[in-house]
Amino acid sequence: MKKIFLALVGMVMAFSVSAAQFSDGAQYVTLDKTVANEPQVLEFFSFYCPHCYQFEQVWHVSDSIRKNLPKDVKYTKYHVEFLGPLGKQLTQAWAVAIALGVEDKVSPLMFDAVQKQQSVQNADDIRKVFIQAGVKGEDYDAALNSFVVKSLVVQQEKAAADLGLQGVPSVFVNGKYMVKNDGLDTSSQDMYVKQYSDVINFLATKK
């Protein structure tokens, strides 16, 4: 019983020490105005963004965030349209991925096609990536022209505008806080990824 108590005390102390490391203006910033009705944890990215590629495909920060969040906290990713010649089309395609529930299948293939192979030059090339991910062409076409996808596109654009998004990758929590990418420990990949998850968990439960 004593061992269990000491273990619990240790966990509480560890959390307290971790939380004490995070402060407004250092590891995160509080927005001037809280934006209601946004996903609890919201990441903005672009398939054209080299930092987003590293964030997701090399350092796997997105996966770490998702795996370490409390079960009742929702994690969502939105694409932005202000980067690259096909930014708007890729935002529409990401809405298709969300609607079809194939984000995890499409994301690595699209990053690779856009940034490494540079094979995405038009809307049909985007469609080909979805087919490569296992989506039937007719299913992609139907989703692309659906009301659901059109609504998701508007939703992504509105969220970026309401939150005052200025660059990617950016992560917002509860429509109230934004993680400062340059405020985290970059001494090692493991430390950066862990601290990113820790600060988001801290903000997700912050009153």
Per residue in 104-143, pLDDT (tens digit) is: 999 999 999 999 999 999 999 999 999 999 999 999 999 9
Q: What does the pLDDT read at residue 186? A: 85
Q: Which of the 8 DSSP states describes residue 135?
A: -
- What is the b/e burial string over 92-131, where b = at least 16 CB atoms within 10 angstroms of the residue's CB? bbbbbbbbbebbebbbebbbbbbbeeeebeeeeebbbbbe
**Are residues 22 and 199 in contact, defined by beta-carbon separation less than 8 angstroms?**
yes
Q: What does the pLDDT read at residue 16? A: 41
Give the residue from 27, 96, 31, 107 showing the smallest Cα distance to 66.
Answer: 107
Where does the pLDDT of residue 20 fall: very low under 50, low under 70, confident under 90, or very high at 90 and above? low
Where does the pLDDT of residue 59 fall: very low under 50, low under 70, confident under 90, or very high at 90 and above? very high
pLDDT at 60 over 60: yes
Mean of per-residue pLDDT scores for the chain: 90
Q: Tokens for 69, please give them.
A: 């969040």
Read off the pLDDT of each residue in 14-18 and give the average, rounded to a whole number.
42
What angle is formed at CA 141 by the lines to CA 139 and CA 142, rounded to 5 degrees? 65
Euclidean distance between CA atoms 196 and 199, whole angstroms:
5
Omega within 30 of 0 (cis) for the link into 169 = yes
Read off the pLDDT of each residue in 58-80 and give the average, rounded to a whole number.
93
**Residue 90 CA: distances (Å) to CA of 85, 127, 168, 190:** 10, 10, 15, 30
Burial class (CB within 10 angstroms; exposed 0-12, middle 13-18, buried 19+) of 183 = middle
Among 116-125, 134-143, 157-166, 185-194, the range scoring the smallest mean pLDDT is 185-194
The helix/strand/coil state of 16 is: helix
pLDDT at 1 over 80: no
Q: Tokens for 73, please give them.
A: 């906290």
Where does the pLDDT of residue 32 fall: very low under 50, low under 70, confident under 90, or very high at 90 and above? very high
